[in-house]
Amino acid sequence: MVFFALGVHEAVAAPGEPLPLLPALALAGGVAVFYVGDVAYRWRDHHQLATGRLMAALGAASLILVAVVAPALAALAGLTFVCLLHTSWELWHHPAIGPGGDS
C-alpha cells in the first residue's frame, strides 16, 4: 500500500507526464505486490490458488511499462480498470475460501 501511495503521489503531481521508472514501479508494482501477497496467503492457509487475483497481479505488473511511456493519468486509469475488472469477476463468481472452496 505504501508503494502504491508513493506512485499515486507522483502521478497526481504531473498527471499529463509519463512517470519515471521508480514511481511507475511503485504505482503498478504496489498493486501487483498486494495481489501476489493475497495469493500467497490463500495458498499458505487454504492451499487454494486464487487464479483471478494472480491474473490481476499480472495485469497490474504489465502496466509498469505503460506508466513509463503514457501519461500518469492513463496508468491510473489502467490500474483502476484492472482492479474493477477483478472485483467484478469475484462478485460474479463468489469464490469460496477455506475447506471445500474451488478458487
DSSP string, 52-100: HHHHHHHHHHHHHHHHHHS-HHHHHHHHHHHHHHHHHHHHHH----STT
Instruction: For residue range 44-74, list pLDDT tens digits in order.
Output: 998 888 899 999 999 999 999 999 999 999 9
Structural domains counted in the chain:
1
Is 98 part of a structural domain of the chain? Answer: no
pTM score above 0.75: yes
CA distances 5 to 46, 51, 59, Å, are: 30, 25, 18
- Tell me: pLDDT of 19 over 80: yes
44 compared with 98, residue with greater pLDDT: 44
Is 103 part of a structural domain of the chain? Answer: no
